[in-house]
Amino acid sequence: MIPANFDYSAPSTLDEALSLLQEHGDEAKILAGGHSLIPMMKLRFASPAHLIDINNIPDLSSIKEEGDSFHLGAMTRESDVEHSEALTGAFPIFADVTKLIADPQVRNMGTIGGNLAHGDAANDHPAVMMALNASVEITGPEGTRTVGIDEFFFGFYMTAVQPNEILTGISIPKQRGKVGSAYHKAERKVGDYATAGVAVQIATDADGKCTYAGIGLTNVNAVPMRAKRSEEALVGSDLSDELIAQAAMMASEDCNPSADLRGDEEYKRHLVKVITKRMIHKAIQRAK
């Protein structure tokens, strides 16, 4: 399968990439890892007239701890995330999620920014970023703006990134207290999209009271979804087993899965309930 014809530029600076975007408007697509875009182009689901390859721009790929947060450059590869001891040490959820994203070769190309900018509720990082309450940095001709993860996803393949903008980074706040995180997805085989996936981050104070709960759901809603009611049930509580089971039930009630080859609606709701409960417990066990 061969993509339709297109023109190709590989700028070496962000400014150059932005001016190419200005020039070509929505005729252009940004090429990051390419492992969502190139398959779509090969299937002719996408036929951009111009590809702007941002792989040669230095500085877009980095993992930095900056005071109260971690900063990830948009072009940080999944394999770099997977092997960053600093990041997976602070947020074990990244070790969970990267292992379940596609396979090692795809993770050598795929980027964390691309995973979000693709705007697909079946991708795994959207739910993770919701659990972590991340914010996304978007750079355009006017400079860089920051968008909270809850204001980032608009619809199927639609995000806050405008045609003249590029997602350039992700910022992840460190929660106070004892913090733990976990992710799991049920998948039919390596490389498949999630039948259902759940990302959880929990923080507690010295008395064991929950001070923060973030729960994101993968592929059980048209857009990446936060299990808000479940989070609210947990915050302020002592995280009893009974309450955790209730929070998991709420997530399974609030999501909107569609039946497909991976399972019917009832099955997916059941998965959400089971995985949410397990991931909350795992996040609490990991809290430090």
Partner 1 sequence: MTMKKITVKLNGAEHSAEVEPRLLLVHLIRENLNATGTHIGCDTSNCGACTILLNGKSVKSCTVLAVQADGKEITTVEGLATAEGLHPLQEGFKENHGLHCGFCTPGMMLRAVELLENNPNPTEEEIRWGISGNLCRCTGYNNIVKAIQYAGAKIRGDELPSTEPEFV
Query: Pairing relation of β-strands 69-73 and 196-204?
Result: unpaired
Number of neighbours of residue 68 by Cβ within 10 angstroms: 11
Interacting residue with partner 1 among 29, 35, 125, 184 (CB under 8 A): 35
Look up residue 263 and give its DSSP letter: B
Instruction: State how far the alpha carbon of 204 is from the alpha carbons of 67, 131, 162, 175, in Å.
Output: 20, 15, 37, 9
Question: How far out from the chain centre does Cα 101 lie?
Answer: 11
Residue 76 CB, nearest approach to partner 1 (Å): 14
The contacts of residue 39 (CB under 8 Å, 6+ apart) are none
Query: Which one among 61, 79, 88, 246 touches partner 1, defined by CB under 8 A?
Result: 79
Which positions from 105 through 144 interact with partner 1, judged by CB under 8 A?
105-106, 108-109
Three-state DSSP string of 33-98:
CCCCHHHHHHCCCCCCCEEEECCCCCCCCCEEEECCEEEEECCCEHHHHHCCHHHHHHCCHHHHHH
Q: In the β-sheet with 50-53, what is the strand arrangement from edge to edge?
A: 7-9, 50-53, 28-31
| Shortest Cβ 98–partner 1 spacing (Å) | 11
Nearer to partner 1, 19 or 211 (CB): 19
What is the smallest separation between the CB atom of 111 and partner 1, expressed in angstroms? 13
- Tell me how far, at minimum, the Cβ of 206 lies from partner 1, in Å: 38
- The reply to whether 39 sits near partner 1 by the rule CB under 8 A is yes
Instruction: Among 11, 19, 55, 63, indicate the residue that binds partner 1 (CB under 8 A).
Output: 55
Question: Nearer to partner 1 by C-beta: 58 or 191?
Answer: 191
- Our finding on whether 46 is near partner 1 (CB under 8 A) is no
Pick the closer one to partner 1 by CB: 82 or 254: 82
SS3 188: coil
Residue (of 21, 40, 29, 57) closest to 169 by Cα position: 57
b/e sequence 9-19, b meaning 16+ C-beta within 10 Å:
bebeebebbbe
Structure tokens at 162: 């405008």
Q: Which is nearer to partner 1, 184 or 281 (CB)?
A: 184
The dihedral formed by the CA atoms of 221, 226, 231 and 233, expressed in degrees to the nearest 10? -40
Name which of 35 and 226 has its Cβ closer to partner 1. Answer: 35
274 binds partner 1 (CB under 8 A): no
> Does 8 interact with partner 1 (rule: CB under 8 A)?
yes
* Residues 176-205: x where in contact with partner 1 by CB under 8 A, - otherwise, as a string: --------------xx--------------
Single residue of 53, 71, 243, 274 touching partner 1 by CB under 8 A = 53
- The binding site for partner 1 (CB under 8 A) comprises 1-8, 10, 31, 34-35, 38-39, 41-42, 51, 53, 55, 79, 83, 99, 102-106, 108-109, 190-191
